[in-house]
């Protein structure tokens, strides 16, 4: 499957063609309870006359258990040919579809081309990326008007597990946590927060596929505080997730690093 679709892209002639709108794949940012089943929509924008789509989709298999794939919208889609779910226990599957008629397939903005059902198996406070990745299948798309792959925006998402002593709303416990700013950023970004009493806070940064790349534990006194994250933490451009964990709650925000 992978070789077939990659060959399709290789046979196309690469030309510089004006692009009126840029295709985007977007994953949601969700919270859910332990044992809950959730459905994740693969949303699109400017999905216009697309003749080929391929990607790897990844998640943390210790937090989410794959159940099934639902509502695949691609015309003439053959799961045996276009989909490989043999590695879902490892937290990913690959998909590669092409419209051999070259007519193209379109969707409305914020519609989805696929849905995936998961069961939440992680502990309260755990998070999982919901991510399009290039390993092992690169993320590519082509349309009927362009000779070659077209520009593609990827907006990865995440899921946070709710439960006892776990919430995505710090205000429930008297905290006030600002949004990450600036966002996107290229050198330094920060989070301001107010805490009502002395607290221990654990900070973690995860990349788009859920790998932890930064960890810090610190004790804070009551009042207004701030944490700064610098560019050396972030190895490459892209989406990251900053998690704030206290004894009472877990709070996660997405940040874009663009160097």
Taking the CB of residue 84, how many other CB atoms lie within 10 A of it? 19
Give the tens place of pLDDT for each residue, 149-198: 899 999 888 888 876 555 567 888 899 999 999 999 999 999 999 999 99
Per-residue pLDDT at 116 exceeds 90? yes
Give the tens place of pLDDT for each residue, 13-49: 333 444 457 999 999 988 888 899 999 999 999 999 9
**Which of the listed CATH numbers 1.10.3720.10, 3.40.50.1820, 2.60.40.680, 2.130.10.30 matches domain 2-162?**
2.60.40.680
Common-topology check for domains 2-162 and 170-257: yes
Any idea where the domains of the chain sit in the sequence? 2-162, 170-257
Weakest-pLDDT range from 2-16, 93-107, 122-136, 206-220: 2-16
Confidence band of 7 (pLDDT split at 50, 70, 90)? very low
Which CATH number is associated with domain 170-257?
Answer: 2.60.40.1930
């Amino acid at each position: 499957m992978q070789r077939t679709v990659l060959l399709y892209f290789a046979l196309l002639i690469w030309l510089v063609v004006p692009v009126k709108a840029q295709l985007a794949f977007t994953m949601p940012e969700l919270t859910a309870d332990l044992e809950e089943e959730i459905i994740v929509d693969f949303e699109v924008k400017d999905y216009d006359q697309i003749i080929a789509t391929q990607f790897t989709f990844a998640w943390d298999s210790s937090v989410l258990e794959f159940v099934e794939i639902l509502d695949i919208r691609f015309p003439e889609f053959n799961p045996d040919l276009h989909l490989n779910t043999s590695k879902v226990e490892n937290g990913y599957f690959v998909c590669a579809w092409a419209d051999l008629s070259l007519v193209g397939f379109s969707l409305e903005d914020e519609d989805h081309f696929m849905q995936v059902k998961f069961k939440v198996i992680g502990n309260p406070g755990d998070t999982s990326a919901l991510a399009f990745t290039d390993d092992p299948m690169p993320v590519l798309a082509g349309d009927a008007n362009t000779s070659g792959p077209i520009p593609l925006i990827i907006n990865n998402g995440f899921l946070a597990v709710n439960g006892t002593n776990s919430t995505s709303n710090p205000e429930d416990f008297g905290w006030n946590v600002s949004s990450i700013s600036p966002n996107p950023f290229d050198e330094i970004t920060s989070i301001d927060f107010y805490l009502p009493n002395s607290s221990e806070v654990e900070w973690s940064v995860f990349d788009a596929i859920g790998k932890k790349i930064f960890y810090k534990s610190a004790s804070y006194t009551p009042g207004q505080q701030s944490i700064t994250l610098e560019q050396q933490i972030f190895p490459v451009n892209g989406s990251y997730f900053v998690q704030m964990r206290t004894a009472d709650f877990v709070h996660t925000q997405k940040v874009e690093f663009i160097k």
